[in-house]
Amino acid sequence: MTGAGQPRVTVVVVTWNGAHLLRPCLDSLAVQAVPHRVLVVDNASTDGTQQVLAGYPDVEVLRLASNTGFAGGAQAGLERAGTEYVAYLNNDATAEPGWLAGLLAPLEDDPGVGATTSRIVLASSGRINNAGGALSRWGAGYDRGYGEPDGPPYDTPVDVGFFCGGGCALRTRTARELGGFPVDFFLYYEDTDLSWRMGLAGRRIRYAPDSVAHHLHSATSDQASASFAFYNQRNQLLTLVRNAPAGLAVGAVLRFLLITAVRAVRPGREHSQRARHRVTVFGSFCRLLPRAAADRRRIGRLAISSRRDFRRRWVDG
């Protein structure tokens, strides 16, 4: 709880060996118009991050004993936040001065909104990076508006299926009650998973275009790397097992196995299209499957049952 005059929001920045990125990020948070706390969750960095943070005495630092990925860092921030709202900004992003106010306005105005998500633009081009998230008909998450020019229709507030963990705000209590971020995911889809559970619980997610952040895309992770493909593919399957209609989840697993068999004969160039890589992904998925199935049972009555309802609520277009 926060007392009178105390900030009602904590902005969490998760970092790992991002000393070269932190100053612009933290400087942009220092000029926000809304009173707030800043909490940097440091995933055991070894690159001089602590020395950079020493220059920001007003920033609270939570240093973890090991690298827990974005999912673990985000959850640690959620657990530490003692404010009504918790916001997240990527360490490789900078926020415009109205970023935080734009995120909080829909939460303040409408109790049915459980989270808000920013208009994230690519720092390199000014085009849209993320205007909220959506799913393909196969259950793959994607960035709404990615690569499109900034402007209409992305200057209009609208409910979306998913928030982006790189620039968002959540009701702290709601996020905690729903289990928070799945730490096992390490990287990717942790925001999709929590967003999905918010939707199942009847909480809406609002795209807030007045909240603008500029993102150095792939500055902290290489999207052409094997690790990106691994976590992206594995966590998509885990997210579906935990949240999706049973038919969609089973279909996605069978489709993954079928494509793996095809790639054993006709391998592609990308890591995600190589049979050995896909077998590794599936092995890790199987090790985490019992826990994911238990989480699905815990979600219980919140799970939607019809594919029609799934498409209506989560698939963009």
Percent of the chain with pLDDT over 90: 81
Q: What is the DSSP string of the chain?
A: ---TTS-SEEEEEEESS-HHHHHHHHHHHHT-SS--EEEEEE-S--SSHHHHHTT-TTSEEEE-SS--HHHHHHHHHHHH--SSEEEEE-TTEEE-TTHHHHHHHHHHH-TTEEEEEEEEEETTTS-EEESSEEE-TTS-EEETTTTSPSSTTTTS-EEESB--TTEEEEEHHHHHHTT-S-GGG-SSSHHHHHHHHHHHTT-EEEEEEEEEEEE-TTSSS-TTSHHHHHHHHHHHHHHHHHHS-HHHHHHHHHHHHHHHHHHHHS--SSGGG-HHHHHHHHHHHHHHHHHHHHHHHHHGGGS---HHHHHHHHB--
Instruction: Write down the pLDDT at residue 104.
Output: 98
Does the structure show a pLDDT above 70 at 309? no
Instruction: Write down the pLDDT at residue 314.
Output: 58
In terms of pLDDT, which residue wins out, 221 or 296?
Answer: 296
Does the structure show a pLDDT above 90 at 192? yes
Which of 34-38, 170-174, 300-304 is predicted least confidently? 300-304
> What's the mean pLDDT in 165-185?
97
- Give the tens place of pLDDT for each residue, 7-20: 999 999 999 999 99
- Give the tens place of pLDDT for each residue, 251-300: 999 999 999 999 999 988 888 889 999 999 999 999 999 999 999 988 76
> May I ask the CATH architecture of the domain 9-215?
Alpha-Beta Complex (3.90)
Does the structure show a pLDDT above 60 at 133? yes
CATH 3.90.550.10 positions along the chain are: 9-215
Instruction: Write down the pLDDT at residue 305.
Output: 45
